[in-house]
Amino acid sequence: MSAEFQHIPVLLDEVLNLLAPERGGTFIDGTLGGGGHAEAVLNRLPKDGRLIGIDRDWEAVRAAESRLSVFGDRFRALHGNFFEMKALLSSAGVSEANGILLDLGVSSHQLDTPERGFSYKTEAPLDMRMDKGAPLSAYDVVNVYSETELARVIWEYGEERFSRRIAGRIVREREKKPVETTTELAAIVKEAIPAKYRREPQHPARRTFQALRIEVNGELKGLDRAVEDACDLLQKGGRLCIITFHSLEDRIVKQAFRRFENPCTCPPSAPVCICGKVPKAKVLTKKPLIATQREAEENPRSTSAKLRCIEKI
């Protein structure tokens, strides 16, 4: 399976320019995937540099270990969630880094492997777990959550205006029989949405599937803390790059970066700062970087990607 794990690194040139691995030192890829970004960073690192990769998907870890074995002990993969990055790195004897990358998107492999249950395009069991050992699956959310909780998840994480209609329809259908597959759920969502809104270019179930994936994997709960931890791990002059794929993630990252650069909590009317909070990083991307037209054409999944970067001061 690992040999089939494909990863098309998004915004690769932009990431390399900002991370600048040719500076040397220790770099962290907190969302290793198939190792595309990691390989490019390792190729730029001086011979005494190293990269630690983290992923919660064992298939990704094994695939990256195989792909990057040529780098020997300059590369090491750790299985786990980057939300626990400090503890994971501490167990590996790493206390600080010169550069950290977090690519918050779902890997192409996960989307394109039907049995993982991430896609509404192919029939598969409802799953959506990035870590297949995790207890909560999309099946559980869809078939166990109350109508109110379902509507909340679909609204908060999918920004779906018809969240209540969709949740109500799911509950009615599951009373007849459990909703077991991706295509069953996609059809239910489509039927719940008013007909005139089903003609959007993208599938009407897209936002609901995004919401379920975020809920199953806890992608937003603790993200702010994880960004704080990543900043703490940086050496002075170290850089943190984060790629997001939807507005909810991007908002959290943007606000965290703004707080690092301007942490003062004093009232605007205060003549001098008395809170004592000092900046710990500067933002290198005043506006997020996005895919070029060429990249968007070659890799359509890059069209929603946004890259932000800070440098520790």
Q: Decide: 283 and 261 in contact? Cβ < 8 Å.
A: yes
Is pLDDT above 80 for 140? yes
Residue located via tokens 């997020």: 288
Under the banding of pLDDT at 50, 70 and 90, the label for residue 108 is: low
- Report helix, strand or coil for 223: helix
| pLDDT confidence of residue 197 | 86
Q: Strand 306-312 to strand 26-29: parallel, antiparallel, or no bridges (unpaired)? A: unpaired
Q: What's the pLDDT tens digit per position in 71-88?
A: 999 999 999 999 999 999
Q: How far apart, in whole angstroms, are the C-alpha atoms of residue 19 and residue 234?
A: 12
| pLDDT per residue as tens digits for the range 48-63 | 999 999 999 998 899 9
Mean pLDDT of the chain: 93
Residue 2 has pLDDT above 50, yes or no: no
Given this model, what pLDDT does residue 192 score? 96
Of the candidates 200, 217, 234, which is a domain's last residue? 217
Is the pLDDT assigned to residue 6 strictly greater than 70? no
Asked whether residue 110 is domain-assigned, the answer is no
- Mark whether 144 and 81 lie in a shared domain: no
Domain count, the chain: 2
pLDDT one-digit tens code per residue, 109-136: 666 676 787 888 889 999 999 888 889 9
Burial class from Cβ neighbours inside 10 Å (0-12, 13-18, 19+) for residue 269 reads exposed
Alpha-carbon span 76 to 82, nearest angstrom? 15
Same domain, 288 and 146: no
Judgement on whether residues 186 and 147 belong to the same structural domain of the protein: yes
* Per-residue pLDDT at 148: 98
Q: What is the pLDDT of residues 257-308, one digit of tens each?
A: 999 999 988 888 888 888 888 999 999 999 999 999 999 999 988 999 999 9
Task: Choose one of 195, 217, 239: the last residue of a domain.
Answer: 217
Output b/e per residue, 91-126; b: 16+ Cβ within 10 A.
eeebeebbbbbbbbbbbbbbbebeebbbbbebebeb
**Are 187 and 246 found together in one domain?**
no
Q: End of a domain among 168, 189, 217?
A: 217
Q: What is the pLDDT of residue 199?
A: 78
Note whether 33 and 163 are same-domain residues. no
Same domain, 172 and 189: yes
Looking at 4-13, 90-99, 126-135, 237-246, which range is the least confident one? Answer: 4-13
DSSP letter (8 states) at residue 107: P
3-state secondary structure of 102: strand
Instruction: Name which residue leads in pLDDT, 3 or 139.
Output: 139
pLDDT at 109: 63
Residue 154 belongs to domain with CATH number: 1.10.150.170
CATH (domain of 262): 3.40.50.150
Instruction: Give the integer Cα–Cα distance in Å for 179 and 174.
Output: 6
Q: Give the pLDDT of residue 110.
A: 65
Strands 281-283 and 75-79 come out as unpaired
- Residue carrying structure tokens 């997001």: 244
DSSP conformation class of 289:
B
Could you list the residue range(s) of the whole structural domain that residue 87 is in?
2-104+220-312
CA distance 219 to 43: 30
Residue 99 and residue 244 share a domain: yes
